[in-house]
Amino acid sequence: MATADDISPPPLPPSPPPGPSRRAALLIGLGGGLVMLALMGVAALVSLTKGPDAVMSVGGPFNLLDGDGKPVTEKTFRGKFMLVYFGYTFCPDVCPTTLNQVAEAIDRLGPKADRVVPVFITVDPKRDTPAVMKEFAAAFSPRMIGLTGSADEIGKAARAYRVYFAERRTGPGANDYTMDHSSILYLMGPDGRFLAPIRAEETGEQIAAALGRFVR
């Protein structure tokens, strides 16, 4: 499946273990959620690739903060391509894997990499402060920009990019949660317009090839 695959194995509450009926209900609930998430992902990708009208409606204004807490908007990177990905730093595997491939793709672009800004936007602003985002993004590539912001602004940015995300509780503690989120890379042109979705499962080589079709 191309999208919405950032779903870690169902985290079970540490204690007490749910009884058979509760466990069944939990599994059915999770299964339904997974199916719905998968369907939403497919629908999102279909609408992304349908035609010029759908293409026009991805992306838009946002008001976020960079790793130093400075305001960043969609206009900040005008003149450069933006490769946008939504996720969160506590993500167990999908986000780190994807960002690794993005970093590799950027390296493979050589001198053309100057024209592309990889942007990682958190869907978990509660934990992903500017400082957390800065360190996390830098761990993948010195070129990568990590963005966070208020829950409200993150929600607006995600809606503009048609990104689905939701908190999934894993326990009673304040930090006992993961984030489900759709997982697509969005290539935006130097004029801010959406150019193409890129599957997050692609290798660095494939992502570089996809970028190379636009970044000349």
Q: List the one residue from 94, 121, 133, 195 that touches Cu ion (CB under 5 A).
A: 94
187 three-class SS: strand
Q: Which stretch binds Cu ion (CB under 5 A): 6-14, 112-120, 127-135, 201-209?
A: 6-14
> Cα dihedral angle (117, 123, 128, 134), rounded to 10 degrees?
0
**What residues contact residue 40 under an 8 Å CB cut-off, 6+ apart?**
4, 164, 182
Residues in contact with Cu ion, total (CB under 5 A)? 5
Asked if 91 interacts with Cu ion (CB under 5 A), we say yes
84 three-class SS: strand
Asked if 6 interacts with Cu ion (CB under 5 A), we say yes
Q: List the one residue from 87, 118, 125, 130 that touches Cu ion (CB under 5 A).
A: 87
Asked if 147 interacts with Cu ion (CB under 5 A), we say no
Residue nearest to Cu ion (CB): 91
CB distance 158 to 86 below 8 Å: yes
Binding mask 95-134 for Cu ion (x = CB under 5 A): x---------------------------------------
Q: CB-wise, 113 or 119, nearer to Cu ion?
A: 119
**What residues contact residue 151 under an 8 Å CB cut-off, 6+ apart?**
125, 126
Q: What's the closest the beta carbon of residue 142 comes to Cu ion, in angstroms? A: 21
Asked if 146 interacts with Cu ion (CB under 5 A), we say no
The DSSP string of 109-156 is TGGGGGGEEEEEEES-TTT--HHHHHHHHHHH-TT-EEEB--HHHHHH
Asked if 145 interacts with Cu ion (CB under 5 A), we say no
Residues found near Cu ion in the complex (CB under 5 A): 6, 87, 91, 94-95
